[in-house]
Amino acid sequence: MKFGVVVFPGSNCDADCHHAIATVTGMEVRDVWHEDTDISDLDCVILPGGFSYGDYLRCGAVARFSPVMKSVVEHAAMGKYVVGICNGFQVLTEAGLLPGALYRNDHLQFICKPQYLRIERVDLPFTHFYEAKQVVSFPIAHGEGRYFADAETLKKLEDNNQIVFRYCDAAGNVTADENPNGSLNNIAGICNERGNVLGMMPHPERVCDRLLGGTDGKKLFKSLVESLHIQAISMRGLR
Amino acid sequence: MAKETSQLQVALELGMNEQEYNNVLGILGREPSGTELAMYSVEWSEHCGYPRSRTLLKLFPKTGKYPTRAEGEDAGGIEIDTNCYVIFKMESHNHPSQVEPRQGAATGIGGILRDIFTMGARPVALLDSLRFGALDNEKTKALLHGVVDGIQFYGNCVGVPTVGGEIYFHPSYRDNCLVNVMAVGIADSRYMATSKAKGPGNPVMVVGNRTGRDGIGGCSILASHEFSEDDQKRPTVQVGDPFIEKCLIEACMELLQGDAIVGIKDMGAAGITCTTAEMAESGGVGMDIDLMHVPMREAGMEPWEIMMSESQERMLVVAKQGREEEVIALFTKWNLNAAVVGHVTEEKILRIRFHGDIVAELPTESLAAGPVYYLPAEEPEWLATLNSTDLTGLPLPSDYNKVLLNLLSTPNIASKRWAYQQYDHMVQTNTVVPPGAGDAAVIRIKGSERGLGMTSDCNSRYCYLDPYIGAQIAVAEAARNLVCVGADPAAVTDCLNFGKPEKADRFWQLKRGVEGIADACRAFQVPVVSGNVSLYNEGPDAAIFPTPTIGMIGVLEKVEQYATMAFKSAGQQIALFGVTKAELGGSEYLAIEHNMEAGMPPMLNLQAELSVQNCVLAAIKRGLVSSAHDCSEGGIAVTIAESALAGNLGADVKLDTVGRADMDLFAESQSRIVISCSADKVEELQQLAVEFGAPFCVIGTTGGDRLAITVAGNKLIDLPMTEVITAHSEPIFTAMAN
Amino acid sequence: MLYHVNIEITLKPTVMDAQGTTIERALHKMGHESVSNVRIGKFVTMEIEACCEDTAKSMADEMCVELLANQVIEQFDIQVTSLEVAA
Amino acid sequence: MLYHVNIEITLKPTVMDAQGTTIERALHKMGHESVSNVRIGKFVTMEIEACCEDTAKSMADEMCVELLANQVIEQFDIQVTSLEVAA
Ligand SMILES: Nc1ncnc2c1ncn2[C@@H]1O[C@H](COP(=O)(O)OP(=O)(O)O)[C@@H](O)[C@H]1O
Ligand SMILES: [Mg+2]
């Protein structure tokens, strides 16, 4: 069971993800330089936060053309897992692996703070250790996390239950006041139809240690490991 | 060269004086070239050579509790664990920020970060100490907005958390804001780098960004004629790119893991001039450089422009002969330039070539051997009267609730969340005590059980009233803030922001300030490992308040043993370490309610301070304390209010009187810390206090949704917490809302 | 032939432009009340070597679709001008 | 009269445009080798109610100096076109 964390020039949460996943899951984690194209050894690819290529032009716009992204697209097509966090989420939308786009926060400022999220789906490889509608606190830290999709795409997302996290208050109420960036429908994270690609603005890797004020993020990575187990077993079953 | 101007005129235009020009003639035995003059003018300037402050800086202690490295490099540090060094430094970017706040602040961060990683230390934290004019006018708001935007723009992208700092507002900074940035790095002593050039024949390389006409406006006197009327060609502000800096950090860290290089130095002021001169000088060698090989951003640059350029995100590297390809390959991997521009020479001459001819050729030492000035110092005549102002006759407030709310909402005391929530203060996943949670920030060090506390402090009003005591208080308060988060005060960096040193009263302030820092640091056994001097901070009518900003690092033996300032649960005991004195001089209360900035600053007894600090630190380590918060601006009333609002818990407190209720509540007496603890810990705390000889008394309990403070039997303060919270949390958001 | 290409990229009308409205508000506050309809966009200028104007245009178009614009939220407009007098 | 104003804001030629360089490199990597001199700027469009074109222009000029452009590192260019046929 192996995780890979992609390192683009300008990524700055790569080491954080590496550390969090290794300590929480005890699994093997390796860094993947953005020019490497062989990621066949990986079960799950993480696209970390940061400012890939300085976020020039648009966040994630240039990173999407890094050689590794071809392989990430194939990796996803095989049904393997991909998680994009913050800048990684932006890369996934730019690459078309997830619908919609992320742009400048409505208040036009970068914002870094703990943020309550409601978990909308717990039947996913990323979330099955959480309880339905559970409220968790993950930090956000972004200037361009405002989620947008045209009306029909948005309807499709809602109809297929592709919204995984929504910004909410401590009690789980999804209100405009709790929306930190103007995202449509308070969207903080979504998955693709197949449910193997996840994109989210909040940072689970930042809440994996009591010392840092929270451990709500652990279950996300533990869920993944568990799912990989099950997947491995069922695959063996097929032979 | 503009022929009709004599070289002496040029020298004067470059800010040299006649004596300095004659020194140059003496050294070279001939008329200097324009490039040579430019090089001497920066190397001998206050900015690089410290001719006016160098002698004072010698007063600072260079050793302390922890093994210290404080000499010879851009930044210094202490060893906090086997092979684990903390490297840190503070630097000012005041004038650039006043001209262009966003880029000024941004490039300030870029510069201080390079000072850290050039030594082989990975930057792990940033703090920024900011000072502006009164927040009531649009110009100040624009400056604050621009500076904070520059810090978030550069700091967030480069991936170093901004975990602390301070923001003060005072009219004396209206035309000269202060932007002091402190960077902290962690180095494995086995991979630490030096900035000494060694080994004749070794290649000298310029790596990182390309060189353009950034920040050379000051030298435009040297412009040849076809350029000189068009200053568009010479932007005087540097423009920073945090993405390039991030790549540069990673490339340098990778480079220093190997052994391909001999030395490395970051380019700051007068980039190639300073780095070649200082690396050669400290290595006792010379260099032969050909500017033709420097990677350029624009065509047609003149040699002196290339030598003076302050283009950002560049380093000078001395590699080992035959290893240059490795170095180039490594930087190319990160899309950065790397080019061999010359080599180290036996002979201690700095020789600069351009298009085949030699444009500068000077003895290496001569650049470092600049003049030293001993300036007259004189106490300002207005000070004595100001100090002896009689404050005993002041009218007492009629409504103490109102006074407390006013204090909580003055921009100097109100929450700075508006600023720090724009900073990524969590990246690198080490931030244990984030901004707003304690008196100092605490970060963990992955792979070590140690933790690091860090803070920056200076109450410049105290320094204005008495620079010696004010500077001592800055050191004492920084240490106290560290103690309040459970950290043992360990080492200091400083940034000396003062006025024009040629004015005797300004120089007196500088001298007394330095003496105050030096004496206080000795008392705390903390070395001054690094720092920076920023003089000539003057508005049209007066100098800024003297501002010797102190940056201090503390060590937590076990990072889990940290403390914060929030009351944790209802029904806990509130206690005070230290004593309140009958003093109001220099207090925020005096300024806000009586609009006076007079009297003497609070008195400071370093022994009393140490007993309180050592006692509280011991108490925190033993787990006796639920919260700790020191008394500073606004006095004990504000301290209690802040612990209450941070925990969203009320409090009921009873205080004795020193004679005047406004003193009991708002005096800024030093060496005081308010803690909370569970009732069953009180006795042990009492014993501990006796052991350490620290005054201690229980003053109240936590709980409820009101803040009540009774003085000598009269309930003077009684407010719903909601009101307290609003007063403190909203003012700066409101002021900055467009 | 060498062509100068100017590409204007703006948010689609259906995408809320917080920047434009904020700046409009600021301008009004500064006393420029007669200003309305403020919108912010970015533009990219470049030179393209191509056989003819249409090719240059279609190349620019391709670059916009691939990289320069994100058509989920943005629309773009391309202007091509020749930098040489046709032979 | 109502005027349409188009303001182009670019970095001064001597100021580093790392963004432009990075985008150019990306375009080359994507096979658009014939592209050069890529520079990126922002533009602001607005409508101004003014007595005459010159007034509109000078108002826009003021706005650039005060708010829209940072003249330390940026330069700007203003185009004014009337939206009505003069009476
Ligand atoms: N006020 C000060 N206190 C202690 N050290 C100082 C002070 N000012 C400068 N220094 C030290 O002098 C050396 C040169 O400082 P500086 O010129 O700021 O470095 P840089 O070359 O990075 O600009 C550094 O080691 C710095 O720490
Ligand atoms: Mg330096």
Atom of ligand 1 nearest to the CA of B266: 22
Which of B698 and B543 is assigned the larger pLDDT? Answer: B698
CA-only gyration radius of chain A, Å = 16
How does pLDDT run across B322-363, given as a tens digit for each residue? Answer: 999 999 999 999 999 999 999 999 999 999 999 889 999 999
Q: pLDDT > 90: what percent of chain B?
A: 80
pLDDT of B387 over the 90 cut: yes
List chains touching A (3+ CB pairs under 8 A): B, C, D
ipTM: 0.92
Comparing CB atoms, the residue among A53, A57, A65 nearest residue D30 is A65
H-helix segments, A126-217: 151-159
pLDDT at residue number B172: 95
Closest by alpha carbon to D44, among A210, C27, B125?
C27
C-alpha B573 to ligand 1 mean position (Å): 46
pLDDT of B370 over the 70 cut: yes
Residues pairing with C40 in the sheet? D44
Provide mean pLDDT across the span B681-689: 97
List the beta strands (DSSP E) in C1-87.
Answer: 2-11, 35-49, 74-82
Set A18, A34, A142, A203: catalytic member: A203
Q: Do B157 and A54 lie within an 8 Å CB cutoff?
A: yes
pLDDT of B234 over the 60 cut: no
pLDDT band at B545 (very low <50, low <70, confident <90, very high): very high
Closest by alpha carbon to B421, among A183, A199, A143, A51?
A143
CB atoms within 10 A of CB A132: 11
Count of B–D CB contacts within 8 Å? 38
How does pLDDT run across B420-437, given as a tens digit for each residue? Answer: 999 999 999 999 999 999
Residue B557, token pair as written in the block? 């033996």
Q: Do B237 and D72 lie within an 8 Å CB cutoff?
A: yes
Question: Does B579 contact ligand 1 (Cβ within 6 A)?
Answer: no
Query: Rounded CA gap, B617 and B685, in Å?
Result: 11
**Residue B500 Cα to chain centre, angstroms:** 20
HSE (side-chain half, CA atoms, 13 Å) at B320: 9
- The mean pLDDT value of chain A amounts to 95
Question: Does B43 contact ligand 1 (Cβ within 6 A)?
Answer: no
A57 CB within 8 Å of a chain B CB: no
pLDDT of B51 over the 50 cut: yes
Closest by alpha carbon to B435, among B78, B127, B13, B43?
B127
Q: Do D14 and B234 lie within an 8 Å CB cutoff?
A: yes
CB under 5 Å of ion ligand 2: residues: B 74, 115, 266, 268
pLDDT at residue number D14: 79
- The mean pLDDT value of chain D amounts to 90
Provide mean pLDDT across the span C26-54: 92
pLDDT band at B4 (very low <50, low <70, confident <90, very high): low
Residue B212, token pair as written in the block? 């353009």
pLDDT at residue number B30: 92
pLDDT at residue number A238: 56
3-state percent breakdown (helix, strand, coil) of chain A, nearest 5: 35, 25, 40
pLDDT band at C84 (very low <50, low <70, confident <90, very high): confident
CB A202 within 8 Å of CB A117? yes
pLDDT at residue number B226: 37
pLDDT at residue number B302: 87
- The answer to whether B293 is a known catalytic residue is no
Question: Does B411 contact ligand 1 (Cβ within 6 A)?
Answer: no
Residue D55's contacts (CB-CB under 8 Å, 6 or more residues apart) are none
* Torsion angle of C-alpha atoms A140, A142, A145, A146, degrees rounded to 10: 100
pTM of the model: 0.93
pLDDT band at D32 (very low <50, low <70, confident <90, very high): very high
pLDDT at residue number D71: 83
Query: Rounded CA gap, B709 and B668, in Å?
Result: 17
DSSP-derived letter for residue B65 is: S
Q: pLDDT > 90: what percent of chain C?
A: 77
Provide the shortest C-alpha distance from residue D47 to chain C (in Å).
5
> What is the number of the ligand closest to the CA of B530?
1
- The answer to whether B47 is a known catalytic residue is yes
pLDDT at residue number B232: 47
Residue recorded with tokens 């703070």: A113
Segment among A5-19, A155-169, B569-583, C13-27 with least mean pLDDT = C13-27
Question: Does B530 contact ligand 1 (Cβ within 6 A)?
Answer: yes
Comparing CB atoms, the residue among B232, B241, B335 nearest residue D16 is B241
Q: What are phi and psi of B704, to 5 degrees?
A: 80, -175
Comparing CB atoms, the residue among C36, C46, C48 nearest residue D46 is C36
Query: Rounded CA gap, A59 and A45, in Å?
Result: 19
Provide the shortest C-alpha distance from residue A212 to chain B (in Å).
5
DSSP-derived letter for residue B190 is: G
Provide mean pLDDT across the span B174-188: 96
Query: Rounded CA gap, B634 and B573, in Å?
Result: 22
CB B678 within 8 Å of CB B585? no
DSSP-derived letter for residue A131 is: P
pLDDT band at B227 (very low <50, low <70, confident <90, very high): very low
pLDDT at residue number B542: 85
Residue C24, token pair as written in the block? 């409009």
C-alpha B129 to ligand 1 mean position (Å): 17
CB atoms within 10 A of CB B63: 14
Which of B408 and A227 is assigned the larger pLDDT? Answer: B408
Question: Does B533 contact ligand 1 (Cβ within 6 A)?
Answer: yes
How does pLDDT run across A13-24, given as a tens digit for each residue? Answer: 999 999 999 999
pLDDT at residue number B217: 59
Return the best residue to mutate from B45, B62, B71, B74 for the ligand 1 pocket (most ligand atoms within 8 A of CB). Answer: B74
Segment among B4-8, C53-57, D21-25 with least mean pLDDT = B4-8
pLDDT of B230 over the 50 cut: no
Segment among B222-226, B489-493, B593-597, B637-641 with least mean pLDDT = B222-226
Query: Rounded CA gap, B524 and B512, in Å?
Result: 18
pLDDT at residue number B229: 42
D2 CB within 8 Å of a chain A CB: no
